[in-house]
Amino acid sequence: MIDAFNYYKPAGSFFVDRQRELQLFKDILETKKKSIFIHGRPGIGKTSLVEQCMKSAVTIGYMTLSYDVPLINSEAFFDLLIPDVLNIFKPKKSTGKPPKLGKNCPLIKRSYEIQDEETYTKNFILKFNKKIIKMRKLLQKQGKKGIVIFVDRVERFIFLANEVAFDIFNKITQAFEETTPKIPDPLPIYFVLVGDDRYAPKIKFSLSNFETLGIPKITAAVANEMLNKREIQAAVNISEEVRKKIFESSQGIPELILYNTNMLCEKTGKREIGLTEWNEVEAQVKEGFAQELEGLSDETRALLQAFAMEPVNFADVDMLVRATGIERETVLSTLNELAEKHLIQNEGENYYFSSSAFWEFLRNSMGDIAISAQARSLVTIAEHDAENGRIVDTNLFNELEKLRKDSITAGLVTPIETIARGYERVGIFYLQTYDYFAEAFKYITIAADSFVKVNELEKSAAILEDAVKVFKEKEQGDYARDMLIKAVEAYEMLENADKIKELKLQIAENSESKALSSIDSGDYALARANFTRAERTYIDIGETGKSLAVLEKAKQLFFDKKEYFYSWQFTARMIEEYMKAGDMNKAKSLLDDAVAKFSDTDQPAFGEKLTDQFAKKIQVSG
């Protein structure tokens, strides 16, 4: 293993990008003052990001603690946390021995032993508060803003029969946000929980009042920067063309990019690596983690198969013995061999994979192989049909949707992504080549939603925005508008204010255009709805002048068409906007003009109605 390309260690000094995620973390900590749940797929760089978040927390004035949820005594996590939090001010020298449990931790219980959870958590909070209440003065004395406690691998609580942990996280965060006459300034302790995308829906459901921060794949530009930094350390030079190929074969997952790069360097044994060297070992590199499955003994393969079938990234020795039928001593010997290769680590007799990305590979290749293979085969058929202008068969679509929804529920990232990419291509064929607009809208919408489910927000936003352009080119205004609305939702998740305003401006212009065409076709109700949408959207993005122009246009067009009810409505909206802006002169002038116009029609009551609404409210300055 070339140290610079060590894929199962945090990035450390090789860290690149993630500026958006780091800024979100800082904003949440400094302005929203909330606890946070960070999630992402295996190998995406959660641990590396957490390292940077810890540095940021220290820089802006917080003290920090960091933990992995332990595989042994996880039920004592919070009891052991209390002395650690107290010791943060006066660190004690570690003895290297595990802490003694028992009388000092009276609340240690597994969740299935707790008879009254409400009483349990209430007692725990009282105990916790009593122990750390004195820390407020210590924090102030040291000029610190609070304490941030980072907890990684929180999905382990689910599989260690200790889901009550999430209730305690909720109670602690709630306790530190509530003010009382005795405690007007609660002690600022925040948790940053870190977990796998596979279990994120369940964890998010279990948490309350936590902000969520998802980690997407990296872009090609970021991957290039990451490899540039590491190549210098490794004293190798990889051409730009080869880096692109590594990125493509690694699907934007940092761990896999590093693994494949290390494989490339080791297989070629060269310091200068170009397309010639790539072509020599391309097939092997593209196999990725499959390299680790070559030449395995039957015992090792059986153990990996057993691991792959487990729903979480660890298993104890007895569990593996039962699952494989292999003698205990042979199991231990095989596990030690895997540990020597740095593939697995252990806590006592609990073993887990050093690389969660490798475990995910095992899940997909040995554990979830059936669902992944089924997704690939069905998607291939659907794409072939769409490419040849055929509507995807209803039964095939239903099968794909069942697979997709089951995969979302189970947190199986690979089949979700496979189906999402397939739906994207199906939608593009229908939209660009065959003008099947309703079908294109359906598939692109589901694809975008699926990419959100695997935390690929940028990808979701991009395909929606691209579809908008094509719908506009095809003069499909209704589809373009609805797709714009979905694109705005995607960029809202990304908190991209500039892009949101840009797309909302398009929504407003689209709605205004649709309103004008509806006037021409005599569909006045639809025209009214679109004028209203345009006006409110312009207001939403601060384009007051354009919103007033829409109101003026609407009131006049409806008046000319003798649709006096609608004209009265838009006139009233204009008067309200002028009044809200404090321009009473404009409001009165508009009111007088409207009353005069309505008096010359066969429905003067609308003028009288305006007078009743506004005459007493308008006071002309000067």
The 3-state secondary structure of 316-362, one letter per residue: EHHHHHHHHCCCHHHHHHHHHHHHHCCCEEEECCEEEECCHHHHHHH
Domain contains 181: yes
Residues 500 and 546 in one domain: yes
Domain contains 447: yes
Q: Is residue 535 exposed (0-12), middle (13-18) or buried (19+ Cβ within 10 Å)?
A: buried
Residues 184 and 109 in one domain: yes
What's the pTM? 0.68
Q: What are phi and psi of 36, to 5 degrees?
A: -130, 145
Residues 326 and 446 in one domain: no
Name the more confident of 96 and 139.
139
Residues 38 and 140 in one domain: yes
Q: What pLDDT score does 293 carry?
A: 79
Percent of the chain residues topping a pLDDT of 90: 32
Residue 283: count of CB within 10 angstroms of its CB: 8
Of 251, 266, 286, the residue at which a domain comes to its end is 286
Q: What pLDDT score does 100 carry?
A: 64
Residues 65 and 160 in one domain: yes
Domain contains 428: yes
CATH of residue 519's domain is 1.25.40
Residues 115 and 195 in one domain: yes
Q: What are phi and psi of 329, to 5 degrees?
A: -65, -40
CATH of residue 186's domain is 3.40.50.300
Domain contains 382: no
Name the more confident of 228 and 73.
228
Using pLDDT thresholds of 50, 70 and 90, give the confidence band for residue 422: very high
Q: Are strands 344-347 and 350-353 parallel, antiparallel or unpaired?
A: antiparallel
Residue 278, domain extent: 220-286
Q: What pLDDT score does 558 carry?
A: 93
Residues 395 and 327 in one domain: no
> How many Å apart are CA 162 and CA 121, to the nearest integer?
13
Residues 102 and 191 in one domain: yes
DSSP 534-577: HHHHHHHTT-HHHHHHHHHHHHHHHHHTT-HHHHHHHHHHHHHH
Domain contains 167: yes
Q: What is the pLDDT of residues 394-412, one digit of tens each?
A: 889 998 998 888 788 766 7
Domain contains 242: yes
| CB within 8 Å of 135: residues ≥ 6 apart | 85, 86, 89, 147, 187
Using pLDDT thresholds of 50, 70 and 90, give the confidence band for residue 622: very low
Q: Residues 562-566: what's their mean pLDDT?
A: 92
Residues 273 and 298 in one domain: no
Please state, in angstroms and as integers, the Cα–Cα distance from residue 332 to each residue in 258, 299, 320, 329, 349, following that order: 29, 11, 10, 5, 9
Question: How many domains in the chain?
Answer: 4
CATH of residue 314's domain is 1.10.10.10
Of 152, 185, 214, the residue at which a domain comes to its end is 214
Of 246, 265, 286, the residue at which a domain comes to its end is 286
Q: Residues 517-525: what's their mean pLDDT?
A: 90
Domain contains 10: no
Domain contains 5: no
Is 180 strand, coil or helix? coil
Residues 267 and 396 in one domain: no
Is 102 strand, coil or helix? coil
Residues 358 and 239 in one domain: no
Residues 177 and 307 in one domain: no
